[in-house]
Homo-oligomer: A and B are copies of this chain.
Amino acid sequence: MANRVAYFGPAGTFTEAAALSYDSEAALLPFPSISAVFSAVESQLADEGVVPIENSLEGSVTETLDILIHESTLTIYRELAIPIDHCLIIAPGRSLRDIAVIYSHPQAIGQCRRYIEKKFPGVQVMAALSTASAVQDMMRNEIPAAAISTARAADIYGAMVAEKGIQDNTANLTRFIILSRRDSNRTGRDKTSICFSFRDDEPGMLYSVMGEFALRNINLAKVESRPNKEVLGRYIFLVDIDGHKEDQGVMEALAALSHKASMMKILGSYPRYSNK
């Protein structure tokens, strides 16, 4: 039976492209929000789920981080990165000169901000739930509109690509994670994502925790903070380290961390992505 893979849809999103690149044989199941993808895997409607976690221009997808921290019981099973090529899409027969509204997902709008300001100054920018639903919104609109989305979404919804590669920066990559109910085995080229918080003296404790990794020559690939959602100025730290949670040094460092932290959660150990 084909692997059932839930993804942040509808068809035509970059997340669908990531899901296809992960498992081209999978039965793909679109869900309308990131949290619905988590729920689908938790409830066993799907075997795995694909959601975006970070873009090279706009930074973290905070909704994904916050669900991983506060709500989900799933693990990060794999990661992959795909290049993001945004297109300006219009309805057949429309002219670029008439455009009064541009629809897209806020992350895509952010990635094309300078293009929009230069080419369409004063045009109203409207947020859509995904890049693919931006095309649907645009096609439904009676006012001449455009959408920023994928070439595949233009195909699926009967629209037309007016311009390709409109992102402000060509180095535009998005990292996606595969969510699963099971752990990923050691491969020898793994990374581990964890989050933790402290009861008090956060920055001093953070320095001390970073020392536990430095002491064992464990490289930190990423340090990030999210609000703890209780007190302004109090944070939960997210750290990616090199190694698998079953590696001796990582095990020791995580044990030391668990004594210092008031909360700690291992989000997953999984192979580092490489497109080679």
* Chain A interface residues (CB < 8 Å from chain B): 54-59, 62-63, 81, 106, 110, 125-127, 129, 169, 171, 173, 175, 203-204, 206-207, 210-211, 214, 219-227, 229-233, 235, 237
Flag if A229 contacts B126 (CB, 8 Å): no
Shortest Cβ distance from A250 into chain B, in angstroms? 15
Q: B127, B171, B214: which contacts A127 (Cβ < 8 A)? A: B127
A2 to chain B, nearest CB (A): 30
User: Which 10 residue pairs spanning A and B have beta carbons closest together?
Assistant: A127-B127, A203-B220, A56-B232, A173-B232, A207-B210, A59-B227, A224-B225, A57-B229, A59-B226, A207-B214
Contacts of A127 in B (CB 8 A): 106, 126-127
Cross-chain pairs A/B with CB under 8 angstroms, 9 sampled:
A54-B227, A56-B231, A58-B227, A59-B62, A171-B230, A171-B232, A207-B210, A207-B220, A225-B225
Q: Most B CB atoms within 10 A — which of A106, A173, A203, A220?
A: A203
Residues of B within 8 A of A81 (CB): 232
Residues of B near A204 (CB, < 8 A) are 214, 219-220
A175 — which chain B residues lie within 8 A by C-beta? 232-233
Q: CB-nearest residue of chain B relative to A226?
A: B59
- Minimal beta-carbon separation of A195 from chain B (angstroms): 14
A175 to B227, CA, bound (A): 12
Interchain CB contact under 8 A, A232 and B58:
no
Pair B224/A224 contact, Cβ less than 8 Å: yes
Contacts of A230 in B (CB 8 A): 56, 169, 171
A-side interface mostly: mixed
Contacts of A55 in B (CB 8 A): 227, 232
Nearest-CB distance from A22 to chain B (Å)? Answer: 17
Q: Quick check: A222 and B210 within 8 Å, CB to CB?
A: no
Residues of B within 8 A of A220 (CB): 203-204, 206-207
Q: Which residues of B contact A226 (CB under 8 A)?
A: 59
| Chain B contacts for A229, CB-based, 8 A | 56-57, 169, 171
A220 to B126, CA, bound (A): 38
Q: Tell me the smallest distance from the CB of A88 to a CB of chain B, in Å.
A: 20
The chain B residue with its CB closest to the CB of A63 is B110
CA distance A207 to B127 in the complex (A): 39
Decide: A58 and B62 in contact? CB cutoff 8 A: yes
